[in-house]
Amino acid sequence: MIQFPKKFLWGAATAAYQVEGGNVGSDWWPWEKSAGNECSGPACRHYEMYDQDFDLAQGLGHNVHRFSIEWGRIEPEEGKFSREALNHYLAVLLALKARHIEPVVTLHHFTNPVWFAKLGGWEHPRAVRYFLRYTEFVVRALAQYVRIWITINEPTIYISHAYLFGIWPPQVKSLWRMLRVERRMVSAHLRAYRLIHKIYRQESLSGPRVSIAQHMMALVPCTPSLKNRFAASLRHKLFNERLLSIFLRHKALDFIGVNYYSRQLVDVQKWGLRNLLSDTCKAGHHPVKKNSLGWDIYPEGLSQLLLKLKKYDLPLMITENGICTSDDAERWEFISAHLKSVYGAMERGVPVMGYLYWSLLDNFEWDKGFGPRFGLIDVDYATFKRTVRQSALKFSQVAKTGALE
């Protein structure tokens, strides 16, 4: 039996656009329609049903909950800030507080206001200033209720999907434009980090913990050839650690948020930059189970990544880890295997503060629509009825006791 530390944070994560519903002021809203995708519509109606959802989380023993604030609601028009939207998020924070659930608040989780996108989004020369003005408005108002902030969720996924692969709005396919947006987002985090700390000092509040949620993949060489080993380590540096190391150089992370789902089997055809960066193994050797989106399930990768981050000497938090599946037994298998993997790293001295399962509820999985079921709680999208899954109950035993068989 494994015993996690007493103060360990246990909970689940969500993102505004994926659960709230009716996010008409966000760039994804018109884009979904124009792209002919399944539309987010009312999503899970979490904007109205958060009290009920937090009752369920509390009943499940969660002592932390990650959610995001929708910029397009807070600032529906450039420079016009909505008190009503702000009050909503204040009510959300009070609802968590009343249930003794610690909030982890994300400021940017993939979506932007429509007006911001129209101006050119993160390519606009004033993009960072716009983001900071929104950040200042939100953080000044909510600081006293929040200790842990995530400025930007998965910047590497956002920039690659939106500016390189062209599959998310604004559907750009350009390495140069992607790199420009990356520079803007790096600057946005650095400046938001300092701004949040400044606000806490001015308000005489004790130090916030500010980070990003970094998407990390286990990059595994398919064969031990030099090409494959070199490519795996290059990709690890570029995709997993590069942004973190920039932020650490600027002392702009108080902890490291890790989002972990899967592995990539690296199999490089020939020496060439494109091959080194993107060739994967197409053959079926090294088989592992997959989630319903076809992503490899690879729990040991989480331990390996956490151990690699040990050198930074900062607390770590698993800000997302989860599986989409129609077989709930697989979900519990996934969670328990990943928790064991986390524990393995902790035994070897990695300071992990908490584990947030993705997600509390089934939700709108971006361009994949409502098909993938990631939730601890099932959502019936016709009636919005919530049903707690068996895996949620098993996870709740761990959350309540810290013990895992």
Q: Is 152 in the site for ligand FCB (CB under 6 A)?
A: no
By CB neighbour count within 10 A (0-12 exposed, 13-18 middle, 19+ buried), where does 275 fall?
A: middle
Q: Which of 358, 391, 394, 398 binds ligand FCB (CB under 6 A)?
A: 358
Minimum CB separation of residue 160 from ligand FCB in Å reads 11
Segment (H or E) for 211: strand 209-221
List the interface residues with ligand FCB, window 198-257 (CB under 6 A). 215
Alpha carbon distances (Å) from 186 to 125, 191, 340: 14, 9, 33
Choices 38-46, 153-161, 162-170, 384-392 (CB under 6 A): range interacting with ligand FCB: 153-161
349: left (phi over 0), alpha (psi -120 to 50) or beta: left
Half-sphere exposure of 365 (CA within 13 A, CB side): 18
CB 311 within 8 A of CB 244: no
Distance CA 302, CA 338 (A): 7
Choices 35-43, 116-124, 150-158, 376-384 (CB under 6 A): range interacting with ligand FCB: 150-158
Residue for token pair 């400046």: 191
DSSP helix/strand/coil, 356: strand
Q: Is 153 in the site for ligand FCB (CB under 6 A)?
A: yes
Q: Would you call the peptide bond into 287 cis, given omega within 30 degrees of 0 as the criterion?
A: no
Per-residue x/- track, 11-40, ligand FCB (CB under 6 A)? ----x--x----------------------
Task: Please say which residue, 320 or 328, places its beta carbon nearer to ligand FCB.
Answer: 320
Q: What are phi and psi of 279, to 5 degrees?
A: -65, 135
Q: Is 279 in the site for ligand FCB (CB under 6 A)?
A: no
Minimum CB separation of residue 268 from ligand FCB in Å reads 25
Q: Which of 157, 164, 190, 281 binds ligand FCB (CB under 6 A)?
A: 157
Tell me, what amino acid is at 194? R
Minimum CB separation of residue 350 from ligand FCB in Å reads 22
Q: Is 365 in the site for ligand FCB (CB under 6 A)?
A: yes
Minimum CB separation of residue 110 from ligand FCB in Å reads 7
List the interface residues with ligand FCB, window 68-107 (CB under 6 A). none
Q: Which of 54, 71, 130, 366 binds ligand FCB (CB under 6 A)?
A: 366
Choices 44-52, 130-138, 149-157, 218-226 (CB under 6 A): range interacting with ligand FCB: 149-157
Task: Please say which residue, 153 or 325, places its beta carbon nearer to ligand FCB.
Answer: 153
Q: Is 320 in the site for ligand FCB (CB under 6 A)?
A: yes
Q: What are phi and psi of 222, to 5 degrees?
A: -70, -40
Residue environment code for 155-192, b if the CB has 16+ CB neighbours within 10 A, otherwise e:
bbbbbbbbbbeeebbbebeeeebbebbbebbbebbbbb
Residues in contact with ligand FCB by the rule CB under 6 A = 15, 18, 153-154, 157, 215, 259, 320, 358, 365-366, 374
